[in-house]
Each structure stands twice: as structure tokens, then as C-alpha cells.
Amino acid sequence: MPRSREENERIRQSAMANIGSAAMEVFLERGYHAASIEDIAKRAGVAKGLIYNYYRGKEGLLAEIVRARTDEIAGVIEEAAASPEPSEQLRRIVEGALGHIDRNPKAYRFFLHLQTQPEEDKILSKYSEMLNKEMSRQFETQCDIFRRMGAEEPVLRSLYFSSTLHGVMLMKSVYPGYPVEEIQALIIREFCPDRPR
Amino acid sequence: MPRSREENERIRQSAMANIGSAAMEVFLERGYHAASIEDIAKRAGVAKGLIYNYYRGKEGLLAEIVRARTDEIAGVIEEAAASPEPSEQLRRIVEGALGHIDRNPKAYRFFLHLQTQPEEDKILSKYSEMLNKEMSRQFETQCDIFRRMGAEEPVLRSLYFSSTLHGVMLMKSVYPGYPVEEIQALIIREFCPDRPR
DNA sequence: GTCTATATTTGGATAGAC
DNA sequence: GTCTATCCAAATATAGAC
């Protein structure tokens, strides 16, 4: 007796998710170029061939992962924007960004690895581009926040803020024992003035 | 008539340097994994086979480049240490680091790409390790500087300083129009108090 | 000392059986 | 829907001629 359509659909969904998360794991562990389809198939417990049934190939897998990441970045902004207070918004950005990286340092490392890909790499630079674009959006919002806080040079200040924040994320993702908590406090003290004054 | 030993030696030196710098160029342009020996040979204007006469292979070429980089890092510290004034030392570190990256953004990007290589990549993580070690040395010196400046928490402050500095380098190497000059002024204002007080 | 030709390996992708 | 077997391209590395 043939499987029902619903049953098939469920199987497809589950297989696809399974392969997707296996790919995520292997990419984080090995990096994009060094990761092989073979590895991913092994990790997912399926045959190589099956992967091509669900994804366009290695690049298709990456595309999926990058999309998930941009969603995540957008989520942090959205979270921050929910507050009416600019100083509080900034604090949420800091906490959102550092909290996420603290939970999963390998992920940020991977994306950083991706973003530092040489531009000449036509395949990968496309995805690096996507990440940059999302970060640009975040940056715009940030500039607004600084404007509303009455900064003299909001854009420059926002840039300085971003630099610091990304520097911290970078260090955290590269050096295991990095004390995020303390540093986070420093950033907040530096950039987020207390409301009551 | 056979060539003299000196002549041979000269030719060897020159060929080796030629290949080495070609490798550097191609690595910066393409990244380690994507760069092929073929590319490097073409760039150097020699045959593929010859490269193996001078280097152990692709990895040997990378080793050479990383060694050059660690020397460069050490150079910045040395330069800074030449000043007796701690605040001035710090300023030299900032200027040295940012100056270098401004002159050659691709290089920093490449090394960052290398350092964000997943740890599981046994081959590359070795070189990533070498870079980290040199940076640790730099960090130690930095802590001393902050100590001598009378900071309350020199290590934490040094860490924060490094984070900011590397964040700026990261942004500069990824975003073309990044205004290093202005940001550099901000850092110096923040971390390097004027001597006369 | 350098080149050309070739061996070897690896990994992405496809075709067809079950 | 999944697997096995195979193809094909690319790239590292080596052998041997000049």
C-alpha cells in the first residue's frame, strides 16, 4: 500500500531538516571549503545522493544557513526596537549580540570566516554580501538610536560602537576564556547612559 | 661550462622569493583553500613542478607567510616599546596596527580569515595557533602598559582596548569606505590620556 | 634548475536500481 | 524516498626529460 501524501510530506520535511542541521554542524566544524558532502551525509546518516534530492548541492546548503543567520540578526534589532527608550535599545542590542555569541561561539566564528572570504571568491562572496546587507540595515537603525540620544556625531559614534561590539564578538569567538560578562558591562557603561540623570 | 656555486645560490634565492611573493598575492586574493598551486605557478611565471623543488607544497608556502606576519606583529610592539611614556606606547600600537591595515587591508583580512578557521582543520589551525601566540605576547606587553598607567583593572582594560582595536581593524578590512582616521582619533582620545595634565 | 607529462586523490554531482 | 555505483573535474604531487 502506498504512503499517503501527508505521510510523504512529513518524511520530506524531516529528512530535509535532518540534512540541514547536519550541514550546519559540519560547516561550523570544518569551514565551508573543507567540509565535504560526504561528511555531511555521514553526519546526517544518509547517502550522498540523497542530499541532492533536497538541496541544490553544497552551495544550496550554505544558502539555507545564511538565510537563517540573517533572520537571527534581524531578530536582535526587532527585539531592541520593542523598547521606547533609545539607551535601552542599545543595551538590548549589546545583550542580544553577546548573548547569542556566548551561547554559540562557533556560529559567529563561522560567519566571520565567511565575511573575511576574499572578494574574488565569486561563490562565497555572494553570501558574504547577504550578511553585510543585513548588518547594514542594523547599522542604520543604530544610527537613528544615537541620533535620538542626542549624540553630536551619530554616524561616527555608531560606527565606533559597532566596531567595539564586533571586536568583542571576534575576541570571544577566538579566545575561549574571554570574559564577556565584564566586558559587556564596560560597553554598556560606555555607550548606554542611565535614564535617570 | 657549469655555473658557479654562488651563481646557483643566487638563482635559488631569487626563484624562492619570487614564488613566495606570488603565493602571498594569490592567497590574499583567493584565500588558502581556493588558491591552487597552478594559480601560484602562473603568477610566478614558473611551472607547477618547480614549486615543489623549493617548498614542501601549499602548506609550506603558507608557513612562510605566517612567519612573516608574526614578525610584523612583533615589529609593532618593538616600535611601541621604544618610547618611555606608556600613553605614547599605546598610541604607537594604535597607529602601528591601523597604519599597517590601512596600507594593506587584504592582508589583515586574510589572517583574520585564517584565525577564524575552525579548530578541527588540523592543518590550518596550526598556523592560526602561531598567530594567536604572537598576539598573546603583544597582549602581555599591553597589560604592562596599562599597569604603568595606573589603571584599576589593567588586564580587563587591556582586553577592552584590544577588542576595540581589533574591531576597528575588522571593520576596516571588510568595509571599504570605513573612516579609520576619525575612529583612530576616538580610540586615542579614549585610551591614551595626554601627558601634561 | 626548470619544464612537461602523468599518476593519484579527492570530492562534487548524476543515473538508475530498489 | 533512499541507496549504490559511477562519472567527471580539479588539484596536489611526482617522475623523468632537457
Q: Is residue A27 part of a domain?
A: yes
- Residue B87 in 3-state DSSP? helix
Same domain, A91 and A29: no
The CATH number assigned to the domain holding B30 equals: 1.10.10.60
Same domain, B79 and B7: no
Same domain, A13 and A78: no
Give the pLDDT of residue A163.
98
Give the pLDDT of residue B186.
97
Same domain, B40 and B127: no
Same domain, B15 and B83: no
Cβ-based neighbours of B110, under 8 Å, separated by 6 or more? A116, A118, B27, B28, B31
Q: Is residue A20 part of a domain?
A: yes
What are A13-62's pLDDT values in tens digits? Answer: 999 999 999 999 999 998 898 899 999 999 999 999 999 999 999 999 99
Residues from chain B contacting residue A33 (CB–CB below 8 Å): 31, 33-34
**Long-range pairs for A182-191: beta carbons < 8 A, 24 or more residues apart:** A182/B156, A183/B156, A183/B159, A183/B160, A183/B163, A184/A94, A184/A95, A184/A98, A186/B156, A186/B160, A187/A94, A188/A91, A188/A94, A190/A164, A191/A90, A191/A94, A191/A161, A191/A164
In angstroms, how far is D15 C1' from B61 CA?
A: 22
Compute the nearest-CA separation of A68 from chain B (Å): 20
Give the residue among A98, A86, A100, A105 at the shortest CA–CA distance from A192: A86
What are A84-118's pLDDT values in tens digits? Answer: 999 999 999 999 999 999 999 899 999 999 999 88
What are B46-67's pLDDT values in tens digits? Answer: 999 999 999 999 999 999 999 9
**Residue B22 predicted with pLDDT over 50:** yes
**Residue B162 predicted with pLDDT over 60:** yes
Residue B2 sits at φ, ψ, to 5 deg, of: -70, 155
**Residue A2 predicted with pLDDT over 80:** no
CB A12 under 7 Å to nucleic chain D? yes
Q: Is residue A133 part of a domain?
A: yes
Give the residue among A26, A168, A163, A194 at the shortest CA–CA distance from A100: A168
B63-87: burial string, b at 16+ Cβ within 10 Å, e else = ebbbeebbeebeebbeebeeeeebb
Give the pLDDT of residue A45.
96
Give the pLDDT of residue B136.
93
Q: Is residue A32 part of a domain?
A: yes
Locate all alpha helices (DSSP H) within chain A, ordered by sequence.
5-30, 37-44, 48-54, 58-81, 86-103, 105-115, 122-148, 154-174, 180-191
Please give the Cα distance from B126 to A156 (Å, whole number): 38
Look at residues B55, B82, B100 and tell me which one is the last residue of a structural domain. B55
What are B64-88's pLDDT values in tens digits? Answer: 999 999 999 999 999 999 999 999 9
Cβ-based neighbours of B14, under 8 Å, separated by 6 or more? none
Same domain, A8 and A79: no
In angstroms, how far is D17 C1' from A157 CA?
A: 66
CB A175 under 7 Å to nucleic chain C? no
Cβ-based neighbours of A89, under 8 Å, separated by 6 or more? A80, A81, A83, A145
Give the model's confidence band at B3: pLDDT under 50 very low, under 70 low, under 90 confident, else very high. low
Give the pLDDT of residue A110.
93
Residues from chain A contacting residue B113 (CB–CB below 8 Å): 113, 116-118
Q: Is A140 on the interface with B (CB under 8 A)?
A: no
Give the pLDDT of residue A181.
96
**Residue B143 predicted with pLDDT over 70:** yes
In order of A30, A93, B122, the CA distances from A23 in angstroms are 10, 28, 19
Burial class (CB in 10 A: 0-12, 13-18, 19+), A122: exposed
Give the pLDDT of residue B197.
43
The CATH number assigned to the domain holding B88 equals: 1.10.357.10
Count of structural domains within chain B: 2
Compute the nearest-CA separation of A98 from chain B (Å): 13
Same domain, A168 and A82: yes
Q: Is residue A196 part of a domain?
A: no
**Residue B195 predicted with pLDDT over 70:** no
For residue B138, give its domain range.
64-191
Instruction: Give this prediction's pTM.
Output: 0.92
Give the pLDDT of residue B5.
81
Q: Is A170 on the interface with B (CB under 8 A)?
A: yes
| Range name among A1-10, A67-76, B54-63 with the lowest pLDDT average | A1-10
Q: Is B115 on the interface with A (CB under 8 A)?
A: yes
In angstroms, how far is C18 C1' from A48 CA?
A: 17
Please give the Cα distance from A116 to A118 (Å, whole number): 6
Q: Is B189 on the interface with A (CB under 8 A)?
A: no
Locate all alpha helices (DSSP H) within chain B, ordered by sequence.
5-30, 37-44, 48-54, 58-81, 86-103, 105-115, 122-148, 154-174, 180-191
Look at residues A55, A71, A99 and tell me which one is the last residue of a structural domain. A55
Residue B31 sits at φ, ψ, to 5 deg, of: 85, 160
Rg of chain B in Å (alpha carbons): 20
CB A53 under 7 Å to nucleic chain D? yes
Highest mean pLDDT among A120-129, A156-165, B172-181: A156-165
What are B172-192's pLDDT values in tens digits? Answer: 999 989 999 999 999 999 999
Give the pLDDT of residue A197.
43
Same domain, B41 and B77: no
Same domain, A40 and A87: no
Q: Is residue B196 part of a domain?
A: no
Same domain, A33 and A128: no
Specify whether the CB–CB gap between A108 and A116 falls below 8 A. Answer: no
Q: Is residue A31 part of a domain?
A: yes
In order of A26, B101, B129, B142, B189, the CA distances from B76 in angstroms are 37, 12, 19, 12, 20
Same domain, A93 and A49: no
- The region that residue B31 occupies, defined by phi over 0 for left and psi between -120 and 50 for alpha, beta otherwise, is left
Q: Is residue A185 part of a domain?
A: yes
Same domain, B79 and B141: yes
